Amino acid sequence: FIGNSTYLDDHGPPPQKVLPFPSQVVYNRVGKCGSRTVVLLLRILSEKHGFNLVTSDIHNKTRLTKNEQMELIKNISTAEQPYLFTRHVHFLNFSRFGGDQPVYINIIRDPVNRFLSNYFFRRFGDWRGEQNHMIRTPSMRQEERYLDINVCILENYPECSNPRLFYIIPYFCGQHPRCREPGEWALERAKLNVNENFLLVGILEELEDVLLLLERFLPHYFKDVLSIYKNPEHRKLGNLTVTVKKTVPSPEAIQILYQRMRYEYEFYYYVKEQFHLLKRKFGLKSHIRKPRPRPEFFIPSPLETEEPIDDEEEDDEKWLEDIYKR
């Protein structure tokens, strides 16, 4: 029984901290897909559950040079575990640089809705105060700020055409230059990474189910997340960050957007299908009306997604002091 005496003896070495699995999680959040909501929740959860929430001060640099990748991976890998690292950054391959590959999580959203949310948010901010957008985009000229969304799309302004519209896939494809080129190569590589490196990629339109599954898969990070999310105080805060002055483009303009974003939609539908399979596997019913036809054949009603707290600027602190391999 000598082996056990150290645990009984006050002067013996303390027992080693047993880390939960996985103890390294990366949330490389896609912009304007509700990640501000999730980061706010994570701040509460990290205090409640005692994990290390590692955030970044860099918000507009998603593509990195090889040296920047190595540096970031080194910094993340040396964080105290269990950690959850979050930043707007395209997928990083840790094993390529000799690091342990963490578990990835993410959330995406209907691509046209995501684009429109970003378009109007950059111009007019949200209900927290319209002066925010002046700080965010101070160099934007008045004629650009008030540019009609239909004119932007129909007259092929850079902001409303490729490659700017190829936005979601690179977050999953990675840092390879071809990941930024709209096409099959980037799409297939993004799908492969979803299958091999992401524990969960959820759909913003079904955020409560995303949170339920995160709680199921990563309880040491997300236990009680749904009850915190549904707390009236949290919901009230969310209402302040709804983007203002949104307008719906014409059916013709939306059809053009769909054509330009066809790879984004192929990816979105793939992720959605995987997400629904996962929900069924764990007994969650999808409250979905009959499935929608593919984008080429219908005019949707954009902006029907509830706007959760969203990202862009990072002032969260001011607002509030085999499962693992599918």
Q: How far apart are CA 152 and CA 257, in angstroms?
A: 11
Question: Given 11, 49, 59, 88, which residue is catalytic?
Answer: 88
CA-based end-to-end distance of the chain: 42
86 beta partners: 27, 55
The CA–CA distances, whole Å, from 319 to 55, 91, 104, 180, 230 equal: 16, 28, 26, 34, 17
Please indicate whether residue 276 is annotated as part of the active site.
no
Mode of pairing for the β-strands spanning 198-203 and 103-108:
parallel
Residues 201-228 as b/e (b if ≥16 CB within 10 A, e otherwise) read bbbbbbbebbbbbbbebbebbbbebbeb
- CA nearest to 102, candidates 121, 89, 117: 89
Q: How far apart are CA 68 and CA 46, in angstroms?
A: 27
Q: Are 42 and 84 in contact (CB under 8 A)?
A: yes
Close Cβ partners of 149 (under 8 Å, ≥ 6 residues apart): 116, 119, 120, 160, 247, 249, 253
Query: Which residues are annotated as catalytic?
Result: 88
